[in-house]
Copies of this chain bind each other. A is one copy, B any other.
Amino acid sequence: MQFLSDNAASVHPAIWEALRAADSPDSPYDGDALSAGLDERFAELFGRPCAVLWVATGTAANCLALASMVPPHGGVVCHEEAHIEVDEGGAPGFYLHGAKLMLASGEGAKLTPDAIRAVIDPIRDDVHQVQPHAISITQASEYGRSYLPSEIAAISDLARERGLGLHMDGARFANAVAFLGCSPSEATGDVDALSFGFIKNGGLGAEAIVFFDTGLADVARYRRKRAGHLQSKGRFMAAQLHAMLDGDVWLANARHANGAAQEIADAASERLMHPVEANELFVRCTPAEREALRGQGFAFYDWGEDAARFVTAWNTRDEDARALAKAIAAL
């Protein structure tokens, strides 16, 4: 019973169908009809114009988005536990040519205007200090917390006021939308670019960079090629994104994963380190308790000395979630 991560989960059948259906000749790179249809497809979803690029990983999505907003001598404010800071092997340093990540604190790996101000206000406006050019937030956060639309609005207001770009890492954006019960547009707020993740949610190998500031996409297109991310059979990338949006597979998948997480959360409520607002659970438990759970067939990661992380996925079986809930309750 697998609760290690959603990042290696199996691929949704709709994706396989779409891939096979795309296996007829079309123009290479992003010249195919499927790629050409992405802007409109996502504009429909978000209810506003956007320009969409596919890429193979969330790291590439985040970094190409940020590189379109931040010059090499600039900085990006992000949470000190943000994926771009701790888990992307220094990719922001590469894509942004040495620009600096400026680390803010915040409960649940979420930023607030105050936390951002605490980082940027002390920066003297002189050439000796790197100046901030953008903010990056994660929806849902690295601790499975979702930003309310009002929280995003407060951050985007600050971004506008200070002339900063705003990026949203949405590796688990679908889970946030499913949790919030709002529209994708409300869950996004006024950001300039969204890394809209599909791979953790049943995709094979395609994420979308959604540029709401569509001018940024023009630069990002050159940077994508320059980064070796412009695949020649791009129709298979676009096909995955269409398949996820068609019939709202993305949302159904996220709802399923969230539902499983909630079931476990209900059983673990007194042990939770963070409210469960997506598909991740951080559960206080002793080494002995973890051993017991593993003995019952549950796979998961330790989270420090005294906790465990459980992640549900689009394909987590109901009985597995139920079993885990029971097992935790019985600890």
A residues apposed to B, CB below 8 Å: 2, 5, 7-11, 16, 19-20, 23-28, 32, 55-57, 59-61, 63-64, 71-73, 75, 86-100, 127-131, 199-200, 204-205, 219, 221-233, 235-237
Question: With A60-B229, A73-B222 in contact, do A8 and B28 touch (Cβ < 8 Å)?
Answer: yes
Contacts of A86 in B (CB 8 A): 129
Q: Interface SS of chain A: helix, strand, loop or mixed?
A: loop
- Residues on B with C-beta less than 8 A from A32 are 8
Known: A204-B236, A236-B205. A98 touches B94 (CB 8 A): yes
Kindly list chain B residues whose C-beta atoms are within 8 Å of the C-beta of A28.
5, 7-8
- Report B-chain residues with C-beta under 8 Å of the C-beta of A99: 90, 93
Question: Of B93, B127, B129, which one neighbours A100 at CB under 8 angstroms?
Answer: B93
Cα distance A146–B254 when bound, in Å?
50
Q: Does A23 lie within 8 Å of B7, measured CB to CB?
A: no
Cβ contacts under 8 Å, A59 to chain B: 225, 228, 230
Chain B residues whose CB sits within 8 angstroms of the CB of A71 once the complex forms? 219
Could you tell me the distance in whole angstroms from the C-beta of A5 to the nearest C-beta in chain B? 6
Residues of B within 8 A of A19 (CB): 19, 204
